[in-house]
Amino acid sequence: MKIKSEKTITEKEGYEAMLYMLKAYWKATGSNDLTDILSGGEYWLEEDTPADSAFWQYWLEAVEKVRKEGSPPFKEIM
């Protein structure tokens, strides 16, 4: 699956989308291994084709969540 998009987001929205996406990835896979996360997001074999197509979907869902819901909630320290 090739990535095609003309939409842009701000740096802040990108950062917040990254937080949402990493949390969704962790919930879906249970992995907190950085190599798992990075290998899923990198391109594989050809330009604009992620190694793990689900990773791109996590990203799109995270961007949409930022647009609809705004910033992730503050972390509460107990």
7-36 confidence digits (pLDDT tens): 888 888 888 888 888 888 888 888 878 787
Residue 64 phi/psi, 5-degree rounding, is: -65, -40
Pull the structure tokens for residue 33: 């291994």
Classified as helix, coil or strand, 43 is strand
Classified as helix, coil or strand, 50 is strand
Pull the structure tokens for residue 26: 């962790």
CA R_g for the chain: 13
- Please count the other Cβ atoms lying within 10 Å of the Cβ belonging to residue 61: 14
35-71 confidence digits (pLDDT tens): 877 777 787 777 778 888 888 888 888 999 998 988 8
